[in-house]
Structures are given as structure tokens and as C-alpha cells.
Structure 1
Amino acid sequence: MSAFKPRIIRGLPTQLRLSTGLLSFNIAWTFMAGEVSGNVSQVDRAWSILPTLYTALYTFFPLFESVPVNLKAQGVQPRALVMTALQILWSIRLSYNTNRRGLFSLKEEDYRWAVFRAKVPTWLMSLFNFAFIAVFQNLLLFMLGLPAYSPSVNPAPLHSGDALISSLILLAIGGEFVADNQQWAYHNFKKTGTLDSKREWIGARLQFTPADKERGFLAKGLWAYSRHPNCAFEQLVWLLMTLFPFLTTPDLATNPVDIIAVLSPSILLSLLFLASTAFTEKISASKYSAYAAYQQRVGMFWPADTLRKWFWLRIVRGKPMLEQAERSIWGTPSQARKETSKETHKDE
């Protein structure tokens, strides 16, 4: 059978051959499961597990039977082990949030896929399921595990750089957890109309009002500074994760091509977030009248963009424009609509 493997696969180290084989398997089962069930959230269900699985494969490969003698002698490398431990924490957080949203249920599907499916013919949805969902997303998850390969095969001691990057990753994972919990608390309030902050995690005990429910989307807590703080922290986690290979092989930082290659997983992830978030916001803007003002006043991901938007509205457009946008978001929505109506009649 090995004679039928592509030459590029035969030339890869064993652990990379194993991981690419796992990638091929994941592409096949997620595509077939999506087509048979009509539910294309198969990769969504595996998202919290696969990057950590690839990373763990590289990290613990020296413990496998029949590995090259040199790798077995080197043993498990501490930097790769640190990366695996951090990703396990990341997996626990995301799996917890995925589970409470119900996405581990085979019957559940991300609501955005239903919206997209309604806009395209069946044959195009199948093509999209294969090319984007099964192939591209699985390839991206595979690439997120690749930064652990170099630390797993190149012995190098830990130093202060590892402590700094690890601390920042832990803070970013904590930020994701807070953002997810704030959103969860808001949607519970929106659904029930009642608030029991004592049952929520610390950091998510926000005081919601009927005006928050009427608005239809969360604009308090971290969400007052970023329209998608969970996505911002997620991008930060993986950007920091891709820095570990530079600690193992500092020479990588001297070549622009190497820098781009090492950072490419986090770059592709950010591009995916940018595209998917734009689609999400198109749906939100069609549902909530104040969402356009929210986009005008608050940055998509980064608080620095929120500050830029404040400066633009306050200094360039004028204080009344800033106040109108903020009233639409954080004031009583019905009152904001009256104010907007007055402005419209005044212009007429």
C-alpha cells in the first residue's frame, strides 16, 4: 500500500504522516456526516478537540512504540508539553461552552448554516460543505496543531519567554471564558426576563434591564468595548501559541518567509473569523434596529478600534452624532427610535 502514497507524504516524518492521515480521516467523516444528515455542524462539534489532538500527537510521539531511536532518547520536550497543557485548558473551556449551547447534540446546527443554506442551491451547499467546511476548516485545525511539531523534535530548555507567552495565553483563555459567560447570562435573561446573578460565573454577573432585553443583543461588560470579545481573545490565544516555535528556533525570526509560515495558522484563523463575523453581523443587523449604531460606535474585535470609533464620532462627526449612537445602544431603544424619528422629521 505504501507504493500508492504520494511522494510528498512518504517523505514526511512519521508523526506528520500520522497527523495528515488523521486530517484525511476527519475531512472524510465530517463531509459524509454532513451530507447524510443534512447537518453541516460536524466540524463545529469537533473544533474544541482536534487542534489539541494534533498537538498531543506531536508532543507524546516519543512515547509511541517503534519511533526513531533519537526521538525516543530525547523524550517528551517540555515546551511541547506546555503547549499541550495550555491547549487542554483551551479545549475544556470551549467544550464547556459548546456543550451548554447544545452543539454536541447531533440534532443541533449552528443557526448561520440554515441562513446560508436558504440563500444557495442544494448542489452549491454540498460543494461548500466539502470545500470550505470539511476541507478548509479541518485543514485550519490541523495547522493550529503544527506549531507544536518543532518544539517536540528540537530539544531546548524553557526560559522566561515561555512563562510570558503562557501567562498571556492563560489571560486570553480567561477573557474568552468571561466573554462567553456574559453572553450566556444575557441570553438567559433575554429568554426568561429574570435575572439571578448569583447563579452566574464571576465576571458575568451583569445587571440587565428591560432595555437590554428590548435591544436584542449584548452591549454590556466586555461587549461594550468589543462587538465580539470572545473572538478577539480566541485569535489572541492562537497568535501567542504560534510564537512558541520562535523560542525553540530563534533563527526563524530572521527570515520573513519563515515568519509568515510559522504565523500562517493564526493568520488564516483571523481571516476566517473576519469573514464569519461579517456574516453573523449581517444577520444581527437585519434583526436588531440598534445594531448599526453598535457597529458605528464599538469595534468588531479590538478595544483600540472602539477608541478610534469614539474619536471619529466625537471629534470628526461631532458630539451630537456620538450621543445619538450611544443613546441608540445604551439608552432605552424605544426612546432612541423616537429620537431618531424626530431627527428624521427635522431633516424633512
Structure 2
Amino acid sequence: MGSGSVSYSNLKNASIAFLVPLPSILFYSSFLSAINGGPKSSSSLWTWCYHHPLLLANLLFFFNVNLLFWIIGLIQSSHWMIDPYWTVIPVMLVHFYSTHPLAQYNWLRSRIVILLTWVWSIRLIHNYLRREKWQWGARQDWRFTLLSQHYGTNWCWASFFAIYVPEQVLLIGLSVPFYVVHSVNQPLSIWDLVAVVVCVSGIVIAYIADTQLHNFVEHKNKGILEKGLWYYCRHPNYFGEQVWWWGMAVFSWKLGNGWGFVGALANSMCLAYVTKLVEDRMLKQDSRAEAYRLYQNTTSVWVPWFKSSSPLPKCKDA
């Protein structure tokens, strides 16, 4: 494929990515305008949207992400869009909950959570674009490719349930603390500081781990990455991501809504499965399998810890 074709494809996918959330944005803007116009201008639809913010968030996600993203994925034969939008949807949700007419909250806590979410999002979208060499939609997640091979001709309909429905459960579940923060008005406490420290720690850990992995891949190093944070655990990037979401759950717990942990727990369970997929993939590479088995035996999975034995031997070049 020539450079001109690549540039056109990149511009096309970038345009799609920026335009695709417009249905939700326009619908929500219409709702706010109608509600602000007073009871006389409010239809039964707007009244329902007013009283059910969580259900409205799920409906917007279902139609705008599950259905629209799925249709675009089928047309393009690539479900790439969910990757960059994993970083964008939480930002949209935190602003949705903060601007909903039923919202009531401590102003400073709200701004802290919104700022943290933006910082987390910028870090993650930067990592996505850096990893993809600043191209939009150049490829879909390799796990989706494996699933498509598994389902074969059924992938057309199975992709909806294998990709998009679980994404809705995870992203809406993970964003529950955003809803809680903007539905309970309580003064700040020491637990808010704890939550901030945990969230910032997660962002920093994930950024350092992803940068170390990026540099390792860019320099085409052989063998196993076992320097920096990767010396102390096998998946520090996953650990940092979990710490971030568990930090958000602390905000929810502090406000008397322990059910805000459900999303973080589901995400940890999902990452446990993803970890298995990644490690199985590493073990299928003949040039790395032996070294990676030793890495597994000597290095913690997620939580950074000291190695249980001597460092890995050097892996011969393939």
C-alpha cells in the first residue's frame, strides 16, 4: 500500500472517529435544551431522560457504540474503533453525569475527578497513537482477530456479542463512580486524598510501564523485557490500569456506595483473562518460550515484587 493510500485511510478513519459520537452529543444537547426550557417544552421522552440518567447512559451507549460502531466495523472489516474509544467514553460519561439536571455534588470533588479522568484519557490515547505510529484504525486488536478466526463465518453477528456488549458492561460499570460522585453531595475527607493518590499512582505506573514496553519494541530487542517495572512483575501496565480504576472506586465507597467496586472487580477479572491470552501468545513463540517460562516462574504476575530466584539468562537471537 502506497503512502498516499495510507494517508487517505488515516484521514478517513480519523474523521470517522471524530464524527461518530455526534448522535449521542446532539441527542443529549437537545435533552438539556428541552429541560432548560421548562416543563411546558418537556415531552415524555425528555421527562424519562431526566429521571433515569443511568439508563439513559446505557441506551446512548447501546445505540451509538454497540450498534453504530458494530455496523462501521462490519463495513470496514475491522473493529478498530473500540480501542481509541475506550479512552474517550469515560470522559464523555463523567461530563454526562456532571451536567445532568439531577446531578448534585461537591464542586471540588467533581472537578478533581473530571481532571483525573482527562489525565488518564490523554495518557491512554497517547499510548494508543504512539503504539499505532500515529495512525487511526491501522489494525484491530489482535484478540479480535483471534476471535474472528474462531467464529469463522459466524463472526458477522458474533462480533456484536463478543466485542461490544462486554464493552458496555465494562465501561458503564467502571464509570459508576462518576455517577456516584455526581449524585451525592458530601464534604471532602481524607478518603478523597487517598483516592487521588491511588488514581495518580495508577496513571504513573501505567505510563512508565507502557513507555518501557514501547521503547523495548521500538529498538527491536530480542528476548523478554525484564527491566524497569517489568523486572518486578510481568504486567505492570495492567497493574497500573487496575490501580487507577480501584482508586476511582474509593471515591464511590467513601460516598456510601460500595457497589461502585463492581466495575473495577469486573475489569480485574477481564484483565486476568487477557493476561492468560497474552502469556499463551508469548509461549507460542519458539524464540521466547523458554525464557518466558522462566520469567513466569520467577516474576510476579501483576503486583510488583522481588524475583523469586536468579535473573533470566540471555535469550539467543532468533
TM-score w.r.t. structure 1 length?
0.71
Structure 1 position 36 matched with structure 2 position 75? yes
Aligned equivalents of 1:169, 1:92: Cα separation in 2: 14
Deviation digits for residues 181-215 of structure 1 (CA, Å, limit 9, x no counterpart): 1011111111xxxxxxxxxxxxxxxxxxxxxx331
Change (3 A) 1:105 1:117: same
Query: Where does residue 91 of structure 2 map in the other structure?
Result: 52
Query: Where does residue 172 of structure 2 map in the other structure?
Result: 142
Q: Is the 8 A contact 2:73 2:80 kept in 1?
A: yes
Query: What letter matches 1:84 in structure 2?
Result: I
Residue 10 of structure 1: how far off its partner (Å): 4.7
Query: What letter matches 2:243 in structure 1?
Result: L
Q: Which has the larger radius of gyration?
A: 1
**Among 287, 308, 314, the residue aligned to 1:332:** 314
Q: Is the 8 A contact 1:40 1:113 kept in 2?
A: yes
Residue 104 of structure 1: how far off its partner (Å): 5.5
Percent identical among aligned pairs is 23
Query: Where does residue 227 of structure 2 map in the other structure?
Result: 220
Q: Is the 8 A contact 2:151 2:158 kept in 1?
A: no
Change (3 A) 1:150 1:104: farther
Change (3 A) 1:20 1:116: closer
Map 1:1-348 → 2, pairs under 5 A:
10=48, 13-24=51-62, 25-61=64-100, 67=101, 71=103, 77-102=107-132, 105-123=136-154, 125-190=155-220, 213-215=221-223, 217-249=224-256, 252=257, 259=258, 261-287=259-285, 288-289=288-289, 290-304=291-305, 310=308, 322-323=309-310, 326=311, 329=312, 331-334=313-316
Change (3 A) 1:282 1:166: same
Q: Is the 8 A contact 1:77 1:151 kept in 2?
A: no
Residue 44 of structure 1: how far off its partner (Å): 1.2
Residue 43 of structure 1: how far off its partner (Å): 1.2
SS in structure 1 at match of 2:182:
helix
Query: What letter matches 2:204 in structure 1?
Result: G
Change (3 A) 1:153 1:188: same
- Length, aligned pairs only: 271
Instruction: Name structure 1 gaps, 5 residues minimum.
Output: 62-66, 191-212, 253-258, 311-321, 338-348
Aligned equivalents of 1:34, 1:147: Cα separation in 2: 30
Q: Is the 8 A contact 2:201 2:243 kept in 1?
A: no
SS in structure 2 at match of 1:301:
coil
Aligned equivalents of 1:145, 1:104: Cα separation in 2: 27
Aligned equivalents of 1:12, 1:81: Cα separation in 2: 22
